[in-house]
Structure 1
């Protein structure tokens, strides 16, 4: 077995990393073809897909209107021997209701805060945001802890 196969995570560990993290690096494609890379808070929908929201006038929203392809990187670990990550190549699909995604993101970024306290903020900021779900294509994972 090659090293790449040795460090790949099984599906349940990929799911656990996605469920446990709060931030991802999101890459969209600028008009000139260069990557536009940002850190985003995210949620997960009932299908286990990554969801996020962003201001409608943001660069990423403009990029996604033109080209839906994205890359999402979720990683953990500080030292080389601890590094774990999931890289998802897919397409961002715009959703009709930003409130649901906004609430999912808000819950993950402010654990323990009641929905009735989160909802006014999400409603206020949601008026200017688009929500997306990432339809995964290729998923690549690694866990360097498997090397020992």
Structure 2
């Protein structure tokens, strides 16, 4: 078995990684074809899909409106032997419940029950739009498997 095959994560392992992570790198496509890359806090839908929100006039929103293809990277670990990650190639679809998105993201950002922060989320959400990522292809790695420690 080659080294690449040894470090691929199962679907369950990817789901665990997404539950443990808090931030993702989001790549959208600029009008000139170059990537637009930003760090975003994210939430998860009940079925484990990535949810994020942003200001309606943000570059990433304009890019998604024009071309909804996105790439999302979630990675954890500091040392090479501890790196785990997943790159999700997919489509960003409008997520109509902006408040739900905001509450899910706030819960993950803070690690706390977001209910006491609802007024702040409502205020912030007025100028935001939300998206859910419909995954296409997922590429994953867990370097801990190189040493049999996962």
TM-score bracket relative to the smaller structure: over 0.9
Structure 2: any 5+ residue segments left out of the alignment? none
Deviates more, 1:59-68 or 1:77-86: 77-86
Stretches of 4+ moved more than 2 A in 1? none
SS at match of 1:124: helix
Match of 2:101 in 1: 101
Offset at residue 73 of structure 1 (A): 0.3
Where does residue 61 of structure 2 map in the other structure? 61
Q: Which residue does the alignment assign to 2:132?
A: 133
Matches within 5 A, 1:108-127: 108-115=108-115, 117-127=116-126
Name the Cα RMSD after superposition. 0.9
When the two structures are superposed, what TM-score results if normalisation uses the length of structure 1?
A: 0.96
SS in 2 for 1:57: coil
Equivalence map 1:30-109=2 (5 Å): 30-109=30-109
How far apart, in 1, do the equivalents of 2:94 and 2:13 lie? 27
d(CA) in 2 for partners of 1:132 and 1:114? 19
> Secondary structure of the equivalent of 2:135?
strand
1:71-119 per-residue CA deviation (whole Å, 9 max, x = no partner) reads: 000001111111110000000001112000000001111122450x211
**How many aligned residue pairs are there?**
147
The alignment's TM-score, normalised by the length of structure 2, stands at 0.95
Partner Cα distance (1:124, 1:114) in 2: 14
2:15 corresponds to: 15
What is the distance in 1 between the residues matched to 2:112 and 2:105?
Answer: 13
